[in-house]
Protein backbone atom coordinates (compact mmCIF):
# COMPACT_ATOMS: atom_id res chain seq x y z
CA UNK A 1 0.00 0.00 0.00
CA UNK A 2 1.52 3.31 -1.00
CA UNK A 3 1.67 6.08 1.57
CA UNK A 4 0.38 8.70 -0.84
CA UNK A 5 -2.48 6.50 -1.79
CA UNK A 6 -5.56 8.16 -0.31
CA UNK A 7 -7.22 11.40 0.46
CA UNK A 8 -6.32 14.62 -1.29
CA UNK A 9 -2.69 13.84 -2.06
CA UNK A 10 -2.83 11.98 -5.34
CA UNK A 11 0.52 11.53 -7.12
CA UNK A 12 1.23 14.45 -9.40
CA UNK A 13 1.01 13.53 -13.05
CA UNK A 14 2.51 16.08 -15.40
CA UNK A 15 0.77 17.21 -18.57
CA UNK A 16 -2.53 15.51 -18.19
CA UNK A 17 -4.37 15.37 -21.47
CA UNK A 18 -7.22 17.77 -22.09
CA UNK A 19 -10.33 16.45 -23.81
CA UNK A 20 -10.42 18.17 -27.19
CA UNK A 21 -13.43 19.38 -29.07
CA UNK A 22 -15.25 16.86 -31.16
CA UNK A 23 -14.05 16.85 -34.75
CA UNK A 24 -16.59 17.88 -37.38
CA UNK A 25 -14.75 16.91 -40.59
CA UNK A 26 -15.57 14.08 -42.98
CA UNK A 27 -16.12 10.62 -41.52
CA UNK A 28 -13.20 8.20 -41.55
CA UNK A 29 -13.38 4.78 -43.20
CA UNK A 30 -14.79 2.14 -40.82
CA UNK A 31 -12.30 0.03 -38.88
CA UNK A 32 -12.26 -3.73 -39.27
CA UNK A 33 -12.90 -4.52 -35.65
CA UNK A 34 -16.50 -5.71 -35.42
CA UNK A 35 -16.16 -6.98 -31.84
CA UNK A 36 -14.91 -3.72 -30.32
CA UNK A 37 -17.25 -1.66 -32.48
CA UNK A 38 -20.21 -3.69 -31.21
CA UNK A 39 -18.96 -3.32 -27.63
CA UNK A 40 -18.54 0.44 -28.03
CA UNK A 41 -21.99 0.90 -29.51
CA UNK A 42 -23.58 -1.17 -26.74
CA UNK A 43 -21.82 0.84 -24.04
CA UNK A 44 -23.07 3.98 -25.75
CA UNK A 45 -26.66 2.69 -25.77
CA UNK A 46 -26.36 1.83 -22.07
CA UNK A 47 -25.11 5.33 -21.25
CA UNK A 48 -27.32 7.37 -23.57
CA UNK A 49 -30.68 5.64 -23.37
CA UNK A 50 -30.50 3.47 -20.27
CA UNK A 51 -30.50 0.37 -22.48
CA UNK A 52 -29.74 -3.09 -21.10
CA UNK A 53 -26.42 -4.42 -22.37
CA UNK A 54 -27.65 -8.01 -22.32
CA UNK A 55 -30.51 -7.10 -24.66
CA UNK A 56 -28.68 -4.69 -26.99
CA UNK A 57 -25.53 -6.71 -27.59
CA UNK A 58 -27.04 -10.08 -28.60
CA UNK A 59 -29.32 -8.28 -31.05
CA UNK A 60 -26.41 -6.36 -32.50
CA UNK A 61 -24.35 -9.54 -32.86
CA UNK A 62 -27.25 -11.24 -34.65
CA UNK A 63 -27.92 -8.29 -36.97
CA UNK A 64 -24.26 -8.05 -37.98
CA UNK A 65 -23.69 -11.80 -38.07
CA UNK A 66 -20.85 -11.50 -35.61
CA UNK A 67 -20.09 -15.00 -34.35
CA UNK A 68 -17.36 -17.17 -32.83
CA UNK A 69 -14.33 -15.45 -31.37
CA UNK A 70 -15.52 -11.97 -32.31
CA UNK A 71 -18.85 -12.54 -30.55
CA UNK A 72 -17.06 -13.91 -27.48
CA UNK A 73 -14.69 -10.91 -27.42
CA UNK A 74 -17.53 -8.40 -27.85
CA UNK A 75 -19.44 -10.06 -25.00
CA UNK A 76 -16.46 -10.16 -22.66
CA UNK A 77 -15.54 -6.53 -23.31
CA UNK A 78 -19.07 -5.14 -23.15
CA UNK A 79 -20.26 -6.93 -20.05
CA UNK A 80 -16.89 -6.61 -18.35
CA UNK A 81 -16.67 -2.86 -18.94
CA UNK A 82 -20.30 -2.34 -17.91
CA UNK A 83 -19.80 -4.31 -14.69
CA UNK A 84 -16.55 -2.62 -13.75
CA UNK A 85 -17.72 0.89 -14.62
CA UNK A 86 -17.17 2.50 -11.21
CA UNK A 87 -13.64 1.17 -10.88
CA UNK A 88 -12.78 2.05 -14.48
CA UNK A 89 -14.18 5.56 -14.09
CA UNK A 90 -12.12 6.20 -10.98
CA UNK A 91 -8.95 5.17 -12.81
CA UNK A 92 -9.85 7.15 -15.95
CA UNK A 93 -10.54 10.24 -13.86
CA UNK A 94 -7.18 9.86 -12.13
CA UNK A 95 -5.55 9.83 -15.57
CA UNK A 96 -7.42 12.79 -17.02
CA UNK A 97 -7.02 16.45 -16.13
CA UNK A 98 -10.70 17.02 -15.51
CA UNK A 99 -13.76 15.42 -13.95
CA UNK A 100 -15.54 12.74 -15.92
CA UNK A 101 -18.59 14.98 -16.20
CA UNK A 102 -16.56 17.18 -18.54
CA UNK A 103 -15.35 14.33 -20.74
CA UNK A 104 -17.21 13.78 -24.00
CA UNK A 105 -19.65 10.86 -23.52
CA UNK A 106 -18.47 8.92 -26.56
CA UNK A 107 -14.86 9.34 -25.50
CA UNK A 108 -15.81 8.04 -22.06
CA UNK A 109 -17.36 4.90 -23.58
CA UNK A 110 -14.14 4.26 -25.48
CA UNK A 111 -12.03 4.96 -22.41
CA UNK A 112 -14.06 2.45 -20.40
CA UNK A 113 -13.61 -0.10 -23.18
CA UNK A 114 -9.87 0.52 -23.36
CA UNK A 115 -9.32 0.67 -19.61
CA UNK A 116 -11.21 -2.59 -19.14
CA UNK A 117 -8.92 -4.32 -21.64
CA UNK A 118 -5.85 -2.88 -19.92
CA UNK A 119 -6.85 -3.70 -16.38
CA UNK A 120 -8.97 -6.81 -16.58
CA UNK A 121 -7.99 -8.82 -19.66
CA UNK A 122 -4.84 -10.44 -20.97
CA UNK A 123 -4.91 -8.37 -24.16
CA UNK A 124 -1.42 -6.84 -24.48
CA UNK A 125 -1.38 -3.15 -23.52
CA UNK A 126 -0.21 -1.88 -26.89
CA UNK A 127 -3.02 -3.81 -28.64
CA UNK A 128 -5.63 -2.61 -26.13
CA UNK A 129 -4.61 1.03 -26.60
CA UNK A 130 -4.07 0.90 -30.38
CA UNK A 131 -7.31 -0.94 -31.16
CA UNK A 132 -9.37 1.44 -29.01
CA UNK A 133 -7.70 4.52 -30.44
CA UNK A 134 -8.19 3.27 -34.03
CA UNK A 135 -11.85 2.79 -33.31
CA UNK A 136 -12.20 6.26 -31.83
CA UNK A 137 -10.31 7.83 -34.73
CA UNK A 138 -12.63 6.20 -37.25
CA UNK A 139 -15.76 6.97 -35.24
CA UNK A 140 -15.06 10.33 -33.63
CA UNK A 141 -12.01 11.85 -35.29
CA UNK A 142 -8.35 12.27 -34.50
CA UNK A 143 -8.80 15.02 -31.88
CA UNK A 144 -10.72 12.75 -29.51
CA UNK A 145 -8.49 9.84 -30.50
CA UNK A 146 -5.46 11.78 -29.27
CA UNK A 147 -7.11 12.41 -25.93
CA UNK A 148 -8.16 8.78 -25.54
CA UNK A 149 -4.66 7.66 -26.50
CA UNK A 150 -3.05 9.87 -23.86
CA UNK A 151 -5.42 8.80 -21.07
CA UNK A 152 -5.13 5.10 -21.88
CA UNK A 153 -1.33 5.31 -21.90
CA UNK A 154 -1.53 6.60 -18.35
CA UNK A 155 -3.98 3.88 -17.36
CA UNK A 156 -1.51 1.31 -18.75
CA UNK A 157 1.25 2.56 -16.43
CA UNK A 158 -0.06 0.37 -13.59
CA UNK A 159 -2.03 -2.84 -13.27
CA UNK A 160 -5.42 -3.12 -11.59
CA UNK A 161 -4.03 -4.03 -8.18
CA UNK A 162 -1.78 -0.96 -8.14
CA UNK A 163 -4.65 1.32 -9.13
CA UNK A 164 -6.84 -0.16 -6.40
CA UNK A 165 -4.02 0.33 -3.96
CA UNK A 166 -3.73 3.96 -4.99
CA UNK A 167 -7.38 4.93 -5.29
CA UNK A 168 -9.51 2.72 -3.02
CA UNK A 169 -10.60 3.85 0.46
CA UNK A 170 -8.29 2.77 3.28
CA UNK A 171 -9.11 -0.83 4.25
CA UNK A 172 -8.42 -0.08 7.93
CA UNK A 173 -10.89 2.77 8.25
CA UNK A 174 -13.37 1.73 5.56
CA UNK A 175 -13.10 -2.01 4.88
CA UNK A 176 -16.44 -2.15 3.07
CA UNK A 177 -15.56 0.82 0.85
CA UNK A 178 -12.22 -0.76 0.05
CA UNK A 179 -13.74 -4.09 -0.98
CA UNK A 180 -16.53 -2.33 -2.87
CA UNK A 181 -13.96 -0.37 -4.90
CA UNK A 182 -11.72 -3.35 -5.55
CA UNK A 183 -14.60 -5.50 -6.75
CA UNK A 184 -16.33 -2.74 -8.68
CA UNK A 185 -19.52 -2.43 -6.64
CA UNK A 186 -21.18 0.76 -5.40
CA UNK A 187 -20.49 1.11 -1.70
CA UNK A 188 -24.16 0.96 -0.64
CA UNK A 189 -24.55 -2.42 -2.34
CA UNK A 190 -21.42 -3.81 -0.67
CA UNK A 191 -22.83 -2.47 2.61
CA UNK A 192 -26.13 -4.33 1.99
CA UNK A 193 -24.20 -7.54 1.25
CA UNK A 194 -22.14 -7.07 4.41
CA UNK A 195 -25.27 -6.67 6.53
CA UNK A 196 -26.89 -9.77 5.04
CA UNK A 197 -23.71 -11.80 5.49
CA UNK A 198 -22.93 -10.40 8.93
CA UNK A 199 -19.36 -9.81 7.76
CA UNK A 200 -17.16 -7.01 6.54
CA UNK A 201 -14.19 -9.16 5.62
CA UNK A 202 -13.53 -12.57 4.05
CA UNK A 203 -17.16 -13.65 3.35
CA UNK A 204 -17.92 -10.20 1.93
CA UNK A 205 -14.79 -10.35 -0.22
CA UNK A 206 -15.80 -13.75 -1.56
CA UNK A 207 -19.36 -12.62 -2.21
CA UNK A 208 -18.24 -9.54 -4.14
CA UNK A 209 -15.65 -11.53 -6.07
CA UNK A 210 -18.24 -14.12 -7.12
CA UNK A 211 -20.64 -11.32 -8.02
CA UNK A 212 -18.02 -9.88 -10.35
CA UNK A 213 -17.47 -13.10 -12.26
CA UNK A 214 -19.34 -14.14 -15.36
CA UNK A 215 -22.03 -16.65 -14.33
CA UNK A 216 -22.69 -20.03 -15.89
CA UNK A 217 -25.96 -20.44 -17.76
CA UNK A 218 -28.45 -22.59 -15.88
CA UNK A 219 -31.21 -24.55 -17.56
CA UNK A 220 -34.29 -26.12 -16.02
CA UNK A 221 -35.69 -29.32 -17.50
CA UNK A 222 -39.45 -29.29 -17.79
CA UNK A 223 -40.79 -31.87 -15.33
CA UNK A 224 -42.63 -34.69 -17.08
CA UNK A 225 -40.89 -33.96 -20.40
CA UNK A 226 -37.18 -34.53 -19.94
CA UNK A 227 -34.89 -35.36 -17.02
CA UNK A 228 -31.88 -33.29 -15.95
CA UNK A 229 -29.62 -36.21 -17.00
CA UNK A 230 -31.12 -36.26 -20.47
CA UNK A 231 -30.94 -32.49 -20.77
CA UNK A 232 -27.29 -32.49 -19.70
CA UNK A 233 -26.49 -35.17 -22.27
CA UNK A 234 -28.24 -33.26 -25.08
CA UNK A 235 -26.68 -29.89 -24.24
CA UNK A 236 -23.23 -31.04 -23.15
CA UNK A 237 -23.83 -29.46 -19.74
CA UNK A 238 -23.53 -30.78 -16.19
CA UNK A 239 -26.35 -31.85 -13.93
CA UNK A 240 -26.85 -29.11 -11.31
CA UNK A 241 -25.77 -29.88 -7.75
CA UNK A 242 -29.05 -29.08 -5.95
CA UNK A 243 -32.06 -28.74 -8.23
CA UNK A 244 -33.35 -32.07 -9.53
CA UNK A 245 -34.30 -30.31 -12.77
CA UNK A 246 -31.17 -28.14 -13.20
CA UNK A 247 -28.33 -28.25 -15.71
CA UNK A 248 -25.31 -25.95 -15.79
CA UNK A 249 -23.67 -24.83 -19.02
CA UNK A 250 -20.29 -23.16 -19.24
CA UNK A 251 -20.28 -19.34 -19.31
CA UNK A 252 -20.02 -18.07 -22.87
CA UNK A 253 -21.36 -21.29 -24.40
CA UNK A 254 -23.35 -19.31 -26.98
CA UNK A 255 -26.96 -18.13 -26.93
CA UNK A 256 -28.87 -20.67 -24.80
CA UNK A 257 -32.08 -19.62 -26.58
CA UNK A 258 -30.68 -21.40 -29.67
CA UNK A 259 -30.45 -24.77 -27.92
CA UNK A 260 -32.87 -27.28 -29.35
CA UNK A 261 -34.47 -28.33 -26.02
CA UNK A 262 -35.11 -24.65 -25.23
CA UNK A 263 -36.60 -23.99 -28.67
CA UNK A 264 -38.79 -27.08 -28.28
CA UNK A 265 -39.94 -25.99 -24.79
CA UNK A 266 -38.45 -29.01 -23.07
CA UNK A 267 -36.27 -26.69 -21.05
CA UNK A 268 -35.91 -23.04 -20.09
CA UNK A 269 -33.08 -20.80 -19.02
CA UNK A 270 -33.44 -20.34 -15.25
CA UNK A 271 -30.95 -19.76 -12.46
CA UNK A 272 -30.71 -22.78 -10.17
CA UNK A 273 -31.55 -20.54 -7.19
CA UNK A 274 -34.86 -19.59 -8.81
CA UNK A 275 -35.62 -23.26 -9.38
CA UNK A 276 -34.89 -24.05 -5.72
CA UNK A 277 -37.11 -21.24 -4.46
CA UNK A 278 -40.05 -22.33 -6.63
CA UNK A 279 -39.49 -25.94 -5.53
CA UNK A 280 -39.39 -24.91 -1.86
CA UNK A 281 -42.99 -23.71 -2.15
CA UNK A 282 -44.04 -27.06 -3.63
CA UNK A 283 -42.21 -29.02 -0.90
CA UNK A 284 -43.89 -27.42 2.10
CA UNK A 285 -46.15 -30.02 3.77
CA UNK A 286 -49.85 -29.39 3.27
CA UNK A 287 -52.96 -31.06 4.64
CA UNK A 288 -56.08 -31.17 2.49
CA UNK A 289 -56.54 -29.98 -1.10
CA UNK A 290 -53.48 -29.16 -3.16
CA UNK A 291 -54.49 -28.45 -6.75
CA UNK A 292 -54.93 -24.68 -7.10
CA UNK A 293 -51.71 -22.72 -7.08
CA UNK A 294 -51.23 -19.00 -7.67
CA UNK A 295 -48.21 -17.08 -8.93
CA UNK A 296 -48.93 -13.48 -7.96
CA UNK A 297 -46.00 -11.80 -9.82
CA UNK A 298 -45.48 -14.14 -12.71
CA UNK A 299 -43.74 -12.26 -15.54
CA UNK A 300 -41.74 -13.31 -17.50
CA UNK A 301 -42.83 -16.73 -16.31
CA UNK A 302 -39.79 -18.84 -15.43
CA UNK A 303 -41.14 -19.98 -12.06
CA UNK A 304 -44.71 -20.16 -13.38
CA UNK A 305 -43.59 -22.68 -16.02
CA UNK A 306 -41.87 -24.87 -13.42
CA UNK A 307 -44.79 -24.66 -10.97
CA UNK A 308 -47.38 -25.31 -13.67
CA UNK A 309 -45.52 -28.36 -14.95
CA UNK A 310 -45.40 -29.75 -11.39
CA UNK A 311 -49.00 -29.01 -10.39
CA UNK A 312 -50.08 -30.32 -13.81
CA UNK A 313 -48.51 -33.72 -13.11
CA UNK A 314 -51.15 -34.19 -10.39
CA UNK A 315 -54.02 -32.72 -12.39
CA UNK A 316 -53.96 -29.28 -10.76
CA UNK A 317 -53.72 -25.80 -12.26
CA UNK A 318 -51.76 -22.61 -11.86
CA UNK A 319 -53.22 -19.11 -12.02
CA UNK A 320 -50.61 -16.56 -13.03
CA UNK A 321 -51.02 -12.84 -12.31
CA UNK A 322 -48.81 -10.18 -13.89
CA UNK A 323 -49.32 -6.44 -13.88
CA UNK A 324 -47.43 -5.54 -17.06
CA UNK A 325 -49.33 -6.69 -20.18
CA UNK A 326 -46.19 -7.35 -22.24
CA UNK A 327 -44.75 -9.50 -19.46
CA UNK A 328 -48.07 -11.34 -19.09
CA UNK A 329 -47.70 -12.18 -22.79
CA UNK A 330 -44.27 -13.68 -22.05
CA UNK A 331 -45.89 -15.80 -19.34
CA UNK A 332 -48.47 -17.06 -21.86
CA UNK A 333 -45.71 -17.99 -24.29
CA UNK A 334 -43.44 -19.76 -21.85
CA UNK A 335 -46.32 -21.72 -20.26
CA UNK A 336 -48.12 -22.67 -23.47
CA UNK A 337 -49.27 -26.28 -23.28
CA UNK A 338 -49.34 -26.20 -19.47
CA UNK A 339 -52.42 -25.87 -17.22
CA UNK A 340 -52.08 -22.11 -16.71
CA UNK A 341 -54.50 -19.19 -16.84
CA UNK A 342 -52.84 -15.79 -17.09
CA UNK A 343 -54.48 -12.66 -15.64
CA UNK A 344 -53.23 -9.15 -16.30
CA UNK A 345 -53.82 -7.47 -12.93
CA UNK A 346 -52.25 -5.79 -9.96
CA UNK A 347 -51.57 -8.61 -7.50
CA UNK A 348 -52.87 -6.38 -4.69
CA UNK A 349 -56.27 -5.91 -6.35
CA UNK A 350 -57.38 -9.14 -7.99
CA UNK A 351 -60.94 -10.50 -8.17
CA UNK A 352 -60.07 -13.78 -6.47
CA UNK A 353 -62.01 -14.72 -3.37
CA UNK A 354 -60.21 -14.94 -0.08
CA UNK A 355 -58.66 -18.35 0.60
CA UNK A 356 -59.02 -19.56 -3.01
CA UNK A 357 -55.56 -21.12 -3.33
CA UNK A 358 -53.55 -23.91 -1.74
CA UNK A 359 -50.11 -22.52 -2.50
CA UNK A 360 -49.15 -18.99 -3.53
CA UNK A 361 -45.84 -17.69 -4.83
CA UNK A 362 -44.92 -14.03 -4.35
CA UNK A 363 -41.79 -13.57 -6.46
CA UNK A 364 -41.87 -9.89 -5.71
CA UNK A 365 -40.45 -6.99 -7.73
CA UNK A 366 -37.15 -6.12 -6.06
CA UNK A 367 -33.87 -4.29 -6.48
CA UNK A 368 -32.34 -7.33 -8.17
CA UNK A 369 -29.15 -6.90 -6.12
CA UNK A 370 -28.91 -10.68 -6.08
CA UNK A 371 -28.62 -11.01 -9.85
CA UNK A 372 -26.05 -8.33 -10.61
CA UNK A 373 -23.85 -10.95 -12.31
CA UNK A 374 -26.47 -11.37 -14.99
CA UNK A 375 -27.27 -7.68 -15.58
CA UNK A 376 -23.94 -6.05 -16.21
CA UNK A 377 -24.80 -2.36 -15.77
CA UNK A 378 -27.52 -2.79 -13.12
CA UNK A 379 -25.32 -2.16 -10.10
CA UNK A 380 -24.51 1.38 -11.29
CA UNK A 381 -28.11 2.19 -12.09
CA UNK A 382 -29.88 1.08 -8.94
CA UNK A 383 -30.17 3.69 -6.20
CA UNK A 384 -30.59 3.25 -2.43
CA UNK A 385 -33.87 5.17 -2.68
CA UNK A 386 -35.33 2.30 -4.77
CA UNK A 387 -35.37 0.09 -1.69
CA UNK A 388 -38.05 2.02 0.23
CA UNK A 389 -40.53 2.08 -2.67
CA UNK A 390 -40.05 -1.61 -3.31
CA UNK A 391 -40.38 -2.80 0.29
CA UNK A 392 -43.78 -1.10 0.58
CA UNK A 393 -44.98 -2.96 -2.53
CA UNK A 394 -43.40 -6.21 -1.31
CA UNK A 395 -45.21 -5.98 2.03
CA UNK A 396 -48.53 -5.29 0.31
CA UNK A 397 -48.14 -8.20 -2.11
CA UNK A 398 -47.14 -10.64 0.64
CA UNK A 399 -50.05 -9.51 2.82
CA UNK A 400 -52.47 -10.03 -0.06
CA UNK A 401 -50.98 -13.47 -0.82
CA UNK A 402 -51.65 -14.50 2.78
CA UNK A 403 -55.29 -13.44 2.29
CA UNK A 404 -55.66 -15.35 -0.98
CA UNK A 405 -54.19 -18.60 0.35
CA UNK A 406 -56.58 -20.84 2.29
CA UNK A 407 -56.16 -21.31 6.04
CA UNK A 408 -53.38 -23.87 6.46
CA UNK A 409 -52.09 -23.11 2.97
CA UNK A 410 -48.57 -21.88 2.22
CA UNK A 411 -47.06 -18.77 0.65
CA UNK A 412 -43.53 -18.59 -0.75
CA UNK A 413 -41.99 -15.13 -0.57
CA UNK A 414 -39.03 -14.81 -2.92
CA UNK A 415 -36.81 -11.89 -3.94
CA UNK A 416 -33.67 -11.82 -5.97
CA UNK A 417 -31.91 -9.66 -3.43
CA UNK A 418 -30.07 -10.15 -0.17
CA UNK A 419 -30.94 -6.61 1.06
CA UNK A 420 -32.27 -7.13 4.60
CA UNK A 421 -35.04 -4.57 4.16
CA UNK A 422 -36.42 -6.54 1.20
CA UNK A 423 -35.92 -9.93 2.81
CA UNK A 424 -36.10 -10.50 6.57
CA UNK A 425 -37.54 -7.02 7.13
CA UNK A 426 -40.59 -7.62 4.91
CA UNK A 427 -41.22 -11.18 6.14
CA UNK A 428 -40.89 -10.34 9.83
CA UNK A 429 -43.18 -7.34 9.54
CA UNK A 430 -45.91 -9.11 7.55
CA UNK A 431 -45.76 -12.28 9.70
CA UNK A 432 -46.19 -10.17 12.82
CA UNK A 433 -49.16 -8.25 11.42
CA UNK A 434 -50.96 -11.27 9.88
CA UNK A 435 -50.09 -13.93 12.44
CA UNK A 436 -48.62 -16.15 9.70
CA UNK A 437 -46.06 -18.75 10.76
CA UNK A 438 -42.65 -18.57 9.10
CA UNK A 439 -41.66 -22.19 8.39
CA UNK A 440 -38.09 -23.39 8.70
CA UNK A 441 -37.50 -22.85 5.03
CA UNK A 442 -34.08 -24.53 5.16
CA UNK A 443 -35.88 -27.89 5.38
CA UNK A 444 -37.39 -27.17 1.97
CA UNK A 445 -33.90 -26.93 0.41
CA UNK A 446 -32.73 -30.53 0.95
CA UNK A 447 -29.04 -31.13 0.32
CA UNK A 448 -28.19 -27.43 0.06
CA UNK A 449 -25.35 -26.52 2.46
CA UNK A 450 -24.54 -23.23 4.22
CA UNK A 451 -28.08 -22.07 4.91
CA UNK A 452 -27.28 -20.31 8.17
CA UNK A 453 -29.53 -20.08 11.23
CA UNK A 454 -32.86 -19.94 9.39
CA UNK A 455 -35.76 -19.85 9.35
CA UNK A 456 -35.29 -17.99 6.05
CA UNK A 457 -32.99 -19.06 3.25
CA UNK A 458 -30.49 -16.75 1.61
CA UNK A 459 -28.57 -18.23 -1.33
CA UNK A 460 -25.29 -16.71 -2.55
CA UNK A 461 -23.18 -16.96 -5.71
CA UNK A 462 -20.01 -17.65 -3.69
CA UNK A 463 -21.64 -20.38 -1.57
CA UNK A 464 -24.15 -22.00 -3.89
CA UNK A 465 -23.22 -20.88 -7.41
CA UNK A 466 -26.71 -19.37 -7.73
CA UNK A 467 -28.00 -15.83 -7.80
CA UNK A 468 -28.41 -14.35 -4.31
CA UNK A 469 -32.06 -15.40 -4.00
CA UNK A 470 -33.97 -15.09 -0.75
CA UNK A 471 -36.87 -17.40 0.14
CA UNK A 472 -39.21 -17.67 3.10
CA UNK A 473 -42.23 -19.97 3.21
CA UNK A 474 -45.11 -18.88 5.46
CA UNK A 475 -48.24 -20.73 6.52
CA UNK A 476 -51.58 -19.01 7.01
CA UNK A 477 -52.97 -19.98 10.40
CA UNK A 478 -55.78 -22.55 10.25
C1 LIG B 1 -39.23 -10.65 -9.96
S2 LIG B 1 -40.31 -10.53 -11.26
C3 LIG B 1 -41.05 -12.12 -11.28
C4 LIG B 1 -40.22 -13.15 -12.00
C5 LIG B 1 -41.03 -14.39 -12.35
N6 LIG B 1 -41.67 -14.96 -11.19
C7 LIG B 1 -40.18 -15.43 -13.04
O8 LIG B 1 -39.73 -16.38 -12.37
O9 LIG B 1 -40.00 -15.33 -14.25
C10 LIG B 1 -41.59 -9.54 -10.62
C11 LIG B 1 -42.75 -9.34 -11.59
O12 LIG B 1 -43.80 -8.69 -10.88
C13 LIG B 1 -44.45 -7.78 -11.75
N14 LIG B 1 -45.18 -6.83 -10.90
C15 LIG B 1 -44.77 -5.63 -10.40
N16 LIG B 1 -45.72 -5.08 -9.64
C17 LIG B 1 -46.75 -5.96 -9.63
C18 LIG B 1 -48.01 -5.97 -9.01
N19 LIG B 1 -48.42 -4.95 -8.24
N20 LIG B 1 -48.83 -7.02 -9.23
C21 LIG B 1 -48.44 -8.05 -10.01
N22 LIG B 1 -47.24 -8.09 -10.63
C23 LIG B 1 -46.41 -7.07 -10.43
C24 LIG B 1 -43.33 -7.20 -12.55
O25 LIG B 1 -43.83 -6.66 -13.76
C26 LIG B 1 -42.44 -8.44 -12.77
O27 LIG B 1 -42.78 -9.07 -13.95
Query: Is the distance from CB of 83 to CB of 53 less than 8 angstroms?
Result: no
- Residue whose CB lies within 8 A of the most ligand 1 atoms, among 273, 297, 329, for a mutation test: 297
Tens of pLDDT, residue by residue over 5-63, are 333 333 344 444 554 444 444 444 456 899 999 999 999 999 999 999 999 999 999 99
Tens of pLDDT, residue by residue over 216-233, are 999 999 999 999 999 999
Give the Å distance between the CA of 297 and the centre of ligand 1: 4
413: confidence class by pLDDT, cuts 50, 70, 90: very high
- pLDDT over 50 (residue 465): yes
E strands, 199-295, in order: 217-221, 238-239, 246-249, 267-269, 292-295
Give the ligand 1 atom nearest the CA of 301.
9
* pLDDT computed for residue 69 by the predictor: 93
Residue closest by Cα to atom 12 of ligand 1? 297
471 as an active site residue: the answer is no
Burial class (CB in 10 A: 0-12, 13-18, 19+), 271: buried
* pLDDT computed for residue 130 by the predictor: 97
Q: What share of the chain is helix, strand, coil (3-state, %, to 5)?
A: 50, 10, 40
> Known binder of ligand: residue 386?
no
For residue 153, how many other CB atoms are within 10 A of its CB? 17
CA 341 to chain centre: 28
Whole-number average pLDDT of the chain:
92
> Known binder of ligand: residue 363?
yes
Peptide bond before 455: cis, by omega within 30 degrees of 0?
yes
Q: Which of 95, 277, 416, 471 is catalytic?
A: 416
Q: b/e map of 405-415 (b: 16 or more CB within 10 Å)? A: bbeebbbbbbb
> Known binder of ligand: residue 303?
yes
User: What is the arithmetic mean of pLDDT over 143-156?
Assistant: 96
Q: How far apart are CA 477 and CA 467, in angstroms?
A: 31
* pLDDT computed for residue 31 by the predictor: 63
Give the Å distance between the CA of 131 and the centre of ligand 1: 42
Residue closest by Cα to atom 19 of ligand 1? 346
Give the Å distance between the CA of 182 and the centre of ligand 1: 33
Give the Å distance between the CA of 327 and the centre of ligand 1: 8
Q: Which residues line ligand 1 (CB under 6 A)?
A: 274, 297-303, 321-324, 327, 346-348, 363, 365
Amino acid sequence: MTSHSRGASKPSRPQRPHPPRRRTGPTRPPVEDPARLAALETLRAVRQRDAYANLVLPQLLRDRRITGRDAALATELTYGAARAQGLLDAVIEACSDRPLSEVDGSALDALRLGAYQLLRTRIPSHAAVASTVDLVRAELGSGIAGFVNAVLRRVAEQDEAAWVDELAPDPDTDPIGNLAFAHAHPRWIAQAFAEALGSRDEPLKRALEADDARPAVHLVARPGEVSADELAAITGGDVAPYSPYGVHLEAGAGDPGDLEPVRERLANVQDEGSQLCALALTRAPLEGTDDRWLDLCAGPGGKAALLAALVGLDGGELIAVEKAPHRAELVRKITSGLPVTVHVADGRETDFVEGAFDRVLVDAPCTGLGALRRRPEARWRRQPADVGTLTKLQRELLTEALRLVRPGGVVGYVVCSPHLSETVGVVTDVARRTGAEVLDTRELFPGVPDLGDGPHVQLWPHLHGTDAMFCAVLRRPS
